Structure formats: structure tokens, C-alpha cells
Structure 1
């Protein structure tokens, strides 16, 4: 099995992709090895590692009911999501109700803030939503991937080229075949913190289970992603990807994965926050990898 290199402009997505690949193929391919390329962001640019938003990146809420159905339902199921979110400070919701603020606390000099009343529960198949923090989720994922012993990480600065990095990696793995999953993107992507923070919702939490204990403070404000998508007119369907295979030097196969349904806000901003957007990309990637595995007889013999 070749070494798989994952290059996606969103580190949040890259970690999710690596976790998904391990969960999908490791049982059949025990020799599987991954390299995750962590893209450093330019000053003022997008991404969760931008110093300007590293500590204030908002808690996010997503619906588990209205999200698109995945093609790979046997893989991207509730158990997979539970494993993905384990020990990452995620809060499961049994009810999400928009409520109109009362007159108490009104400040006529400020806009009325939307309020969501949510009921907290233990993880279950009946969960209707999630609250999570992207940084906590990323830190937890990176820790799990590193501890697996199957994933390594390399950093790529904005001024560096991916092909040069691949050449450097190949010198460490003599006679190793490489598959590079290169997700093409807009190089001029910018993070718009004003747009994100203008869509935060006040949170009123209730719980019917006194056994639920968190080692962190439940947030008072969240970015409720379904509302954000609706207000910014973002398509709710997952993007469709096509791929092109290029054969490079030293047994390197570069798979350029291109978004066919590009949307500026979704693919430059929300992609750094929306867990189900990342899972939708995983769903597409599994289909692409399965096709590549069928094309390459060497891969097929390992399966």
C-alpha cells in the first residue's frame, strides 16, 4: 500500500479526512501510512490557525437531522461520529428551539439577538444536534492521529510548493509509492471574522439528565451553522468533486481533487467550522479512493 499524503487548505478538514481514511481502510490494509500537510496561513488569511482567531474561534452548533444523507452510510454513521468526537468537549442535543427574547435585558442601542433553547443529553441515536468547538475537536483529532503511529504531519508555508514538499518526503522513503490527495482551492481565501461573529446566537441550555458532567463551561454564545447557512444563502448540499490523476516522478501519483460546486462563503469560511461539511468531503473522498483502488491493481491486490 502506498503512502497517502493529504493536502487540503483547511486543517480542520485534513484531520477529519485522515481519521476517516484510517477508519475505512485500516482493517483491510494494516500497512496503511498517512502524511497530513498542515497549511500555514498568510497574514490576515483564513483558517483556524490564524493567530487573530485561534483563541476566539466560536463554539459551533450543527443539526444531525437536516444534514445531507451520505452515500457511505455504513461508514459515516452515528458510531463513527461518536468516535470522531470522543473526548473533544462535544455537547449532544435532544432539542433545539428558537425562542424570541423577552423585554428583559433589551438594549435599544443594540440589535435583538437570536436565542436558541437547547436540551442536553448523553450521546444517543436520537440526538438532533451537536455543539462543539473547532479548536478542541482539532486538538483531539491530531492527538489521536499522532498516537496511532500511522500518521505524520508536515507544515507547508504559503510561499512553498506542494511538489517540492513531496520531493523532500520521497527522499525519506526510498522506493515508496506515493498517492497525493491534493484538494485544489482558491489561493486568495480570506477569513471574515465579522461575518462569523455577526451570526452568533445566545444559548439557553436545559438538561433532563443530572448525570451529564462537563469539565468545561457550557458556552453562552454559539455559531448555529444551519442559521448561518440560511442567512448567507449557502447551498445545503455537499459539494461534488471530480479528480484528475497525474503521474509524477519517483512512483508518485498526484490526485488533484477539484470542487465542481464552488461557493465562496461555504468553501472559504464555513469549511473551517462545519463538521458535517468535512464529513461530506470524506464521503466524496471515499468514493474517489475506491475508484482509484480499483484502477490500480497493486492497490486491489492489497485489499
Structure 2
């Protein structure tokens, strides 16, 4: 049973306020107020002096891998929102592998689920490890640079933040064991953003709620068994609506970082996990859900259930 062994994170100290995007994206004063007061989005993490390679490397360094652990890593999976995250011929994934002595591992990118690709990478890592030696490990990397307009801002929805997370995965373990994974793919949203945005927003809350309840059911549990939901940090209103639809308490969704970090691409789940553990929100044996949605060449609504 796939298990999370350790999580390393890095969030830079600098922040970009929503107001700084007003001119570039032609945001009115009313739209700015809606973002701050309604969506609860005020700023996003920003690392102007760091490259993507450096961002990912800081998250891996936070894992404090031992020499023995590094030698056991068979796979390095880089889960990313966008198909291209740096200009050719740069390759931050392989640069990170060289920096941490992981050249022996098979390294590749995982995408196609946009911001839900982090969950896909964890599930894929577990599948690969199932046929590897019992002590083998996989490393899942997440985090991107907000280097284009599309990668900085989602109209009427969210701001992207810069940061990174690294998750060490094993085929089995005593804690943070994956109990289920559901990914609902919606190919009808394969189109230009302005063409599909209205319908995507209309079905968003029901579709994400359905992914959560389906994952919980697949784990043989009910929502009352779930101690915490670790969300993607798109905005607070989205989670208010999802919780209302599925009948889950909003105060058991960890939304602390929405207003401060922004939506840190595929890294949200792992950043929120780190915070939940540090604050004692997860006790041994607690069941929790990690949920995410992604849009781009279709839409994906995903959820995973774990036992802490």
C-alpha cells in the first residue's frame, strides 16, 4: 500500500499582492476587492531571484535525504501543471537529480492532469514501486515558476504562487498510507479557456465534491470518518461551495495558505500536509483527503484518501 515517507517544502518569503497585477490584467478596483474580500486571495509567494532548478532543489534539500535513502530512490517524478515550464534546452529535473546524486534513478515528468498531476504522480510512483525491490523509493517533485501571464493569474479565480515540495514515496509503510485514488477526467473541456470557462465553473463544485465522496467511498469510509481535507489553494469560496454540496465542515478544510501563498501549482497538497502535521491537525490513525482539480486540454477532478 503506497505510503508517504517524508515531505520537504520550500516557500519563498517574498509576496506579490493582487493589486500589482491590476494594470497587466486590466483588473478594476471592484475586481480587486472581490479577490481580497470574497475569494480571500491577497497575495502569492514569489521568488524573483531563484530559478526553477533552485526552487525544486530547496524542497529536496529540506527532505534531508540520507546517503542510504538516496541510493534507494529508483524513480524521480516531476508533477507539473504546464507542459512546458522552462525554455529549451533547460531541464531542471535532471539538474536536480545531478545535484543530489540521483542520476541512477529513472527521471521523468508527469502532466496531463494540470494542477491535479501531483496526485497522479503519487499514484504512479506507488504502481512503479509495486514491482520494484521492497526497499525501493520514489521521489515526487512539484512546483513551478509563474513565468507567463497564464501561469500567474486565472481570471476571476486565483493567483499562482511560486514554491516547491518534494515527497518521498514507498510501496508500503506504517503511516500516511494511500487508501484510494479517484481521478475523473472531463474531455469536453478540451478547448480555449474563454470557450470552456463558463461551463467549467458551473460544474466545478459538483465535480470536485463527487471526486472527494467517491474516493472516501472507495476507501470504505464515510465523510464523518475524514478528519481533514487538504485542498488545492484555488480560493476559499470554491471550497465553501464544495463543502456545502457534500455536507462537510468547512473548518476541517485546511485553507490557511490560500491568502498568503496563492495556488502553488501541484505543490499545494504537500505544503498543506506539512502544515497539518506541524500544527497537530492529524493524529495517528486519522483519515484525511487530498483533493485537487486541474484544467488544461480537458479537466481533471481528483481525490486521494490516506491514513495518517
- TM bin, normalised by shorter chain, reads under 0.3
TM-score by structure 2 length?
A: 0.25
Higher share of residues assigned helix: 2
From the CA coordinates, give the structure whose radius of gyration is larger.
1
